[in-house]
Amino acid sequence: MAAVIECRGLTKRYRGTTALAGLDLTVEAGQVFGFLGPNGAGKTTTLRILLGLVAATSGHAWVNGRRIPDPGGLVGVGAMIEEPSFYPWLTGRRNLDLLALSGPRPPASGIAAALDVAGLTGVADRKVKGYSQGMRQRLGLAAAVMRRPALLLLDEPANGMDPAGIREFRTLLRRLAGDGTTVFLSSHLLAEVAQVCDQVAVIHAGRLVEQGPTSQLTTGRPRLRLVIDPADQPSALALLRRWPTRADGPDTVLVHAADGRGVNEVLGRGGVWASQIVPERAGLEDAYLQLTGHPEATDAAAPR
Amino acid sequence: MRLLHAELIKLARPLTWGVAAAAALFCVLLAVGGAHNAALEGGAPAGHIPSCAELGIPAGPRCARAEALERARVNQASAEPAQVAAQLNPLAAGAEAAGLMASLPGALALALLAGAHIGGEWSGRTMKNLLAQQGRRWRVLAAKLVSLWLAGIGLIAVCWVALAAAGPVLVRVDHLPATHEPAAHALSLAGSQAARGLLVLAAFAGIGLLAAVATRGTIGTTAATAGAVIAMLIATSLPALGRWTPATWVQAWMGFPAGQASVTSLPTNFWSRFISAGGAPGHVAGLVGVAGLLAVCLAAAAALFRGQDIGG
């Protein structure tokens, strides 16, 4: 498949702060691509570079085969950058009219269809200053889809949306993907990404730490839950230090390893006997926390 | 053109209407005061021209100069009512409107509009949306400049209409002499000043554009634009610069009377009163200077904006 987004060694420094440190990324056509990372990881900076809003300090990016910055690369790209802002003295519909006038002409009825898709038809003629944050997010989404783009770049699109809105949004993304739109979804809502994305990239401190199918990211990280005598817990943690290990309550140790037999053997040699060794699969959240080096990484997993 | 259309839609906002109303009110109040002052001047007994002995100046060229100045002052005072009545002719009022808008009041009005219309794209965090639609940044700058310039032209039109409506009433109320100026002459004067004003307004808009790109905010743009215009006027008082400042170029291009000669019952501008008389460049030098100022502002704004990171 052809890559619609490609980043090679993308680096961005802001007055001594490194927002991106050599990011390599490939997004292929037709994917719903999740772009995960903690606050400050460089997600929004990446999107801004792809849209030509920010210049990379070094490295290169291509969108639709065009090297960024290239205004022509924006043709066929719809974007919603975090917390979309509009002209508050104008109505929602008028704001979309303005954005339509500012770039390539959208298809006939594109604005009406976008308002409908975003669930804003009923309030489209109200001034934006009266909109809630969720409604502004929906208007941002309408602006992004009004030209029926082939590539949709979304930055934290579900921020401020109510649960019903999030569900509608999820349905919309699936529908767009079904129609062949490539969706690049930057988010920290892991459940959202897990449910709608078929590919995920995790970024941390400006670098890509993992990229692959969502299923691989979660199922590829087995771990063991050991139930032991609370008095033996310190010894067990010491014996198992060759694996990423963490206490989980007074009588449990979580070990990021798949080899139950090897773990049991090490414990036995040290004179510690587990009453249970339960294999688990880490969820996306745990995988994410582990990849991004979060100290709570092993506490977040749900048994499977 | 579609982008310009979008920018004009954005300008149709309460602030623009407020600035237009304030400009019209300012022009009308100035006309009210001017007509009243002219009526008082006209009603006063004919002025006495003091002799050189009374002025304590020995006979000679200096005496002749002083007498000529006094004579001109007295003549001007007696001619004020007719002069103001001519300025308030509905057709000629265009020259008054253009003079006011191509000077400090217009510059301050455009500073306010530049702050909201251009700087506001950063403060309101809408610049990212705009550039995500239109990646060619020079087009965005051009549309902003032209729309702001058109707003300035709109201000001239609004002031012209306000003065044309108020002028005949004021002439009647203050018993100013009727003028028999041919319509063609009045229109020609107004058209000429309005046409000259277009370039000055473009230069003011260019300063506003550069201020917006440099400060990236509403307040910063307004303050920087107003500050730049005031600094231009202050610069004229510097002995070495006097003749070579943007303010003197504007004065020369617009043909504003020099120095205190511009302080009349109904001033034609609020600009040259801040500039000392003498040494102003000619029309052509003024034209080149104002056009150069516009070109420098545009080039600097384009260079700054081209590589600028858009945050927010």
Span A223-252, average pLDDT? 87
Please name the residue of chain B whose CA is at the shortest distance from the CA of residue A51. B132
Contact A182, A272 (CB under 8 A): no
What DSSP state is assigned to residue B76? H
In sequence order, what E strands does A29-128 have?
32-36, 58-63, 66-67, 77-80
The mean of the pLDDT values for chain B is 88
Handedness of CA B99, B100, B103, B107 (dihedral sign): negative
Name the fold adopted by A222-281.
Alpha-Beta Plaits (3.30.70)
Q: How confident is the model over A122-158, as pLDDT tens digits?
A: 999 999 999 998 899 999 999 999 999 999 999 988 8
Which of the four pLDDT bands, split at 50, 70 and 90, describes residue A299?
Answer: very low
Distance from CA of A191 to the nearest CA of B (A): 27
What topology does CATH give the domain A3-215? Rossmann fold (3.40.50)
Domain ranges of chain A: 3-215, 222-281
Band of residue B144 on the pLDDT scale cut at 50, 70, 90: very high
Q: Is the pLDDT of residue A228 over 80?
A: yes
Q: Sorting pLDDT into bands at 50, 70 and 90, what band is B238?
A: confident
CA distance A40 to A264: 40
**B2 with A51: Cβ contact below 8 A:** no
- Which of A17-47 are b and which e, b meaning 16 or more Cβ less than 10 Å from the residue's Cβ? ebbbbebebbbeebbbbbbbbbeebbbbbbb
Exposure string over A269-292, b if 16+ CB within 10 A, otherwise e: eeebebeebeebbbbbbbbbbbbb
pLDDT higher than 90, residue B226: yes
- Taking contacts as CB-CB distances below 8 angstroms, the residues of chain B near A90 are 9-10
Q: Is the ipTM of this complex over 0.90?
A: no
Judged by DSSP in three states, A252 sits in strand
Å between A62 CA and nearest CA of chain B: 15
Question: Would you say B250 and B236 are in contact if contact means Cβ atoms under 8 Å apart?
Answer: no
What is the band of B59 on the pLDDT scale with cuts at 50, 70, 90? confident
Mean pLDDT of B277-282: 72
Q: How far apart are CA B210 and CA B214, in angstroms?
A: 6
Within 8 A of B309 by CB-CB distance, chain A residues are 14, 48, 53-55
Pick the closest to residue B218 from B113, B312, B100 (CA basis).
B113
Contact yes or no for B309 and A48 at CB 8 A:
yes
Least confident residue range of A229-238, A249-258, B204-213: A249-258
Of A71, A84, A59, A47, the closest CA to residue A185 belongs to: A47
Q: How close B199 comes to chain A (CA, Å)?
A: 27
| CB contact burial A60-90 (16+ within 10 A = b; e otherwise) | ebbbbeeebbebebbbbbbbbbbbbbbbeeb
Sequence-separated contacts (24+) of A89-92 with Cβ below 8 Å = A89/A127, A89/A128, A89/A129, A89/B13, A89/B14, A90/A127, A90/A128, A90/B9, A90/B10, A91/A124, A91/A125, A91/A126, A91/A127, A91/A128, A92/A120, A92/A123, A92/A124, A92/A125, A92/A126, A92/A128, A92/A131, A92/A135, A92/A139, A92/A142
**Tens digit of each residue's pLDDT (9 = 90 or more) over A153-190:** 999 888 878 888 888 888 888 888 888 899 999 987 77
Weakest mean pLDDT among A211-225, B27-41, B288-302: A211-225
- Say if the Cβ atoms of A101 and B6 lie within 8 Å: yes
Name the closest residue on chain B to residue A52, using Cα atoms.
Answer: B135
What is the crossing angle of helices B14-43 and B61-87, to 10°?
Answer: 120
Neighbours of B81 (CB within 10 A): 24
Q: Chain B partners of A99 at a C-beta cutoff of 8 Å?
A: 129-130, 133
Q: Which of B14, B136, B311 sits opposite A71 (nearest CB)?
A: B136
Is the CB of residue B17 less than 8 Å away from at least one CB of chain A?
A: no
Whole-angstrom distance, CA of residue B127 vs CA of residue B240: 41
User: Smallest Cβ distance to A102: which of B14, B133, B309?
Assistant: B133
Please tell me the distance from the alpha carbon of residue B70 to that of residue A207, in angstroms, as a whole number.
Answer: 81
A126 token code pair = 């109200």
Please give the average per-residue pLDDT across B213-230, as a whole number.
96
Q: What is the pLDDT of residue B124?
A: 93
Query: Does residue B174 contact residue B39 with C-beta atoms inside 8 Å?
Result: yes
Distance, in angstroms, between A196 CA and closest chain B CA?
Answer: 25
Task: Select the residue from A20, A98, A141, A156 to test the B interface by mutation, using most B Cβ atoms within 10 A.
Answer: A98
- Taking the CA of residue A95 and the nearest CA in chain B, the distance in Å comes to 9
Residues paired with residue A154 on neighbouring β-strands, in sequence order: A80, A185
- In this model, does residue B300 exceed pLDDT 60? yes
Cβ contacts of A94 on chain B, cutoff 8 Å? 9
Chain B residue numbers with beta carbons less than 8 Å from the beta carbon of A72 are 135
Backbone angles phi, psi at A257, to 5 degrees: -155, 155
Average of pLDDT values for B144-160?
97
pLDDT band at B279 (very low <50, low <70, confident <90, very high): low
d(C-alpha B225, C-alpha B211), whole Å: 6
Say if pTM beats, i.e. exceeds, 0.90. no
The residue written with tokens 């549309």 in the block is B143
User: B154-191 burial, b if ≥16 CB within 10 A, otherwise e?
Assistant: bbbbbbbbbbbebbeebbeebebeebebeeeebbebbe
pLDDT band with cut points at 50, 70 and 90 for residue A304: very low
Question: Measured between beta carbons, which residues in chain A are less than 8 angstroms from residue B311?
Answer: 48, 54
Of A70, A87, A141, which Cα lies nearest the Cα of B7? A87
Least confident range of A151-155, B44-48, B80-84, B171-175: B44-48
Q: What is the pLDDT of residues A39-54, one digit of tens each?
A: 888 999 999 999 999 9
Q: Which pLDDT band holds residue A302 (cuts at 50, 70, 90)?
A: very low
Distance to chain B for A54, nearest Cα, Å:
4
Mean pLDDT value across residues B239-245: 74
Task: Establish if B142 touches chain A: CB-CB under 8 angstroms.
Answer: no
**What token pair was written down for B293?**
């100022």
The highest-confidence range among A5-19, B137-151, B277-291, by mean pLDDT, is B137-151
In this structure, of B133-147, B164-178, B206-220, B266-280, the range with the lowest mean pLDDT score is: B266-280
Q: Are A89 and B307 a contacting pair at CB < 8 A?
A: no
Contact A124, A115 (CB under 8 A): yes
- What is the structure's pLDDT at B42? 67
User: In this model, does residue A219 exceed pLDDT 70?
Assistant: no
CB contact under 8 A, B309 and A73: no
Alpha helix segments (H runs only) across B174-245: 183-215, 218-235
CA distance A17 to A47: 18
Q: Closest-CA residue in chain A for B134?
A: A103
User: Strand, coil or helix: what is B258?
Assistant: coil
> Is the Cβ pair B132, A70 closer than 8 Å?
no
Strands A182-187 and A199-204: unpaired
Which pLDDT value is given to residue B49? 67
Query: Which of A66, A80, A101, A129 is most worth mutating to test chain B (most B CB atoms within 10 A of its CB)?
Result: A101
pLDDT number for residue B81: 84
